A and B are shown apart, each in its own frame.
Chain A
Amino acid sequence: MTESTTANKKRGSFRIRVEPRLNVPPAWYPAAVTFGALIVALILGGVLISFAGGDPIKSYLHIANASFGDIGVLSDTIVKATPIILVALACSVAFRMKLWNIGAEGQFIMGAFGASTIVLTPVLSAETPRWIFIPVMMIAGMAAGALWGFIPGYLKAKFNVNEIISTLMLNYVAVAWVNFWIFGVWTEGGFQMSPKFPDTASLPRLLDYAKTFPILRGLTTHLGLVIGVVAAIILWFIIFRSRWGYEIRLIGDNPQAAKYAGINITKNVIWVMMLSGALAGLGGMSEVTGVVHRLQTAPIAAGYGFTGIIVAWLAKLNPLVIIVASILFGALILAGREIQPSGVPKMIQGIILVCLIASDFMLRYRIVIERGEE
């Protein structure tokens, strides 16, 4: 068994041997490997930062301080984490079925657009109470995102079109589409942005309650966080406790077996892509109504869709772990804005993903060190 796959290295009287893992490792082991991969990624990132002329320790201390230092910045970190939670949930459900939806970015943008149509068309007048406005915008955002997920899902199911390319191409289409509307139709004074939304079309924020609870002054955390956490819990139940979730997991692990078990893969591809798109669209709705308060491309298409891919992978596609992982990445994005050179957060994200994937090897193989003479 070990003969065929060993890679032998002689080091003095030691022998290092790699062999496949036959038993299931203890529960703490995958978490420890993931944590180890994160540490290695931060060290590698530090080396690259110092190559580029920066000070790695200063950069990391700055990230920690500027994102968790006090309650104000912690609130800002959570604001950054909110869209990432929803987008990572979107990616995780598709990835579980080995559907590589890397178009969460576009579905996110379309979600923001869909929610905005309710204000800007206008479907509802500015005097509509919040408790009607917000659910309607949520539905519109999810519908627009689901539509953007349906297109590649349908093409994959009917024509076997590679979903990696089609979802990614639709990202660019979504940006151009929104640019057309905010430049050509809903422009405010010729700038590429829509007019500001009325207060009734904004998600409530903690600072809105500062009059009663002065401690909340200046905290921008908004209802989107609650939406994200609730969505994560619901998704956890769908994946691990429902028949549909079982089908999704089975198709992902073994499509042949799923087919013989009578599961309709075509239908599931379309539905899962729509669910994925709807979750990303909900993220876009939360961002446009909770943070930006107007339709504008630059702050909406800020790469959350891509960060979501890494977060979903870091969390091993578990919806509840995604919440924690999103907060870590929210911190990286928030603090990273002030770090020079400006590409550093993106580079660290890339290194983290590389290390995470490489570390999967440690789950499938074990490294044995043997003493003794050759």
Chain B
Amino acid sequence: MDFTIILQAGIASGTVLLFATIGELFSERAGVLNLGVEGMMLIGAMSAFSTTIATGNPWLGVLVAMLFAGLISQIHAFIVITLQADQVVSGLSLTFLGAGISLVLGEGLSKAGTVALLPNFSIPLLTLIPILGKIFFTNQSVLVYIGYLLVPLSWYYINRTRPGLHLRAVGEYPSAADALGISVFRMRYFYVFVGGMLAGLAGATISLAVSPGWFSELTTGGQGWIAIGLVIFAQWDPIRAAVGAYAFGALRRLILDIQGPLVLLGFDNPFYYNPYLGFFLQMLPYLFTVTVLVIGSREAMRKRIGAPAALGNPYIRGERGK
């Protein structure tokens, strides 16, 4: 087994989690918990794939995926921001709704065959860096490179710009932000939309680049939930989110690839000879998420870093103490 190849594929696979995690991070920074990531990713994956089949243009597929998922996210925004309903239950319902709509509209898509995919390419010069050049910059999908750009840009936007300051204010102390003339409602709608678009992009990354095709609910396989867990692990910081997303991507690839070879580290590969042991490998990403959450939560408790203070609470104008 060549580990650089696994890591190279792991980065691509981690890009899916990266988009979804950063999207959820924006939404949560504005004070809105959106548990509908899995549903929005399914919408994105389905609409990207079907648009590409219909038009032959994968870029149009990505665009439709982002807009459709963004649109679906606005249902959640309306229910929790305007109607002030419980964010947990509304997010859950968005997951059901997204899965249901994508199953209905995606009927028959799984037999559609192959489509034009997004281009892969290498970055000249950067590929010459030993090991890292091969892992990060050789024959990756264009979306992977977009992911590389998204991380520092998000960090800079949140921590170093005026709109980013407003975003943090809305999530931490909405009534103070409101008093300064920032429209809390409009900001929250907007960042839920951003979160939806990035979840849609994550879905499109699966169906047009990482594992092309539409496999109904198995397309995402719980990655939307892992992304929500990663936001907690990342303590609402894009850089940590990227580290977590790529590590998870590498783990997912490793689990797929470890069952292939006859010999593993000089021994007979037990996963090849006893394929049913693979079920334990399948558990790993999910057990890992729980472990990562334990670590993240303990650290947050010790360092007294927490979620954005207003996360999960509706903002009601004129109510005291919020």
Contact = CB atoms under 8 A, between A and B. Distances in A.
Given A169-B229, A180-B280, A357-B86, A161 B94 contact: no
Contacts of A131: none
B251 to A, nearest CB: 14
Given A165-B225, A166-B290, A309-B92, A52 B297 contact: no
A100 B107 contact: no
A200 to B, nearest CB: 29
Contacts, number: 157
Contacts of B90: 354, 357
Contact of B290 (A52, A169, A361): A169
Given A160-B301, A165-B229, A173 B92 contact: no
A72 interface: no
A347 B83 CA distance: 22
B164 interface: no
A180 B99 CA distance: 27
Interface residues of A, number: 50
Contacts of A340: 107
B19 to A, nearest CB: 18
Given A162-B232, A346-B100, A102 B92 contact: yes
B54 to A, nearest CB: 15
A52 B105 contact: yes
Contacts of A345: 100
Given A172-B286, A350-B101, A164 B35 contact: yes
Interface in B276-295: 276-277, 279-280, 282-283, 286-287, 289-290, 293-294
A288 interface: no
Given A165-B293, A166-B293, A357-B93, 16 more contacts: A4-B317, A4-B318, A169-B222, A169-B225, A176-B279, A176-B280, A176-B283, A177-B279, A183-B276, A306-B96, A341-B103, A343-B99, A343-B100, A348-B100, A353-B97, A361-B83
26 contacts: A49-B104, A159-B294, A159-B301, A161-B297, A162-B297, A164-B35, A164-B228, A165-B293, A172-B222, A176-B283, A184-B277, A310-B96, A341-B103, A342-B107, A343-B99, A343-B103, A353-B93, A353-B96, A353-B97, A354-B93, A354-B94, A354-B97, A357-B83, A357-B90, A360-B83, A360-B85
Nearest 4 A-B pairs (CB), nearest first?
Answer: A343-B103, A347-B100, A350-B97, A350-B96
Interface of A: 4-5, 48-49, 52, 100, 102, 155, 159-162, 164-166, 168-170, 172-173, 176-177, 179-180, 183-184, 306, 309-310, 313, 340-351, 353-354, 356-358, 360-361, 364
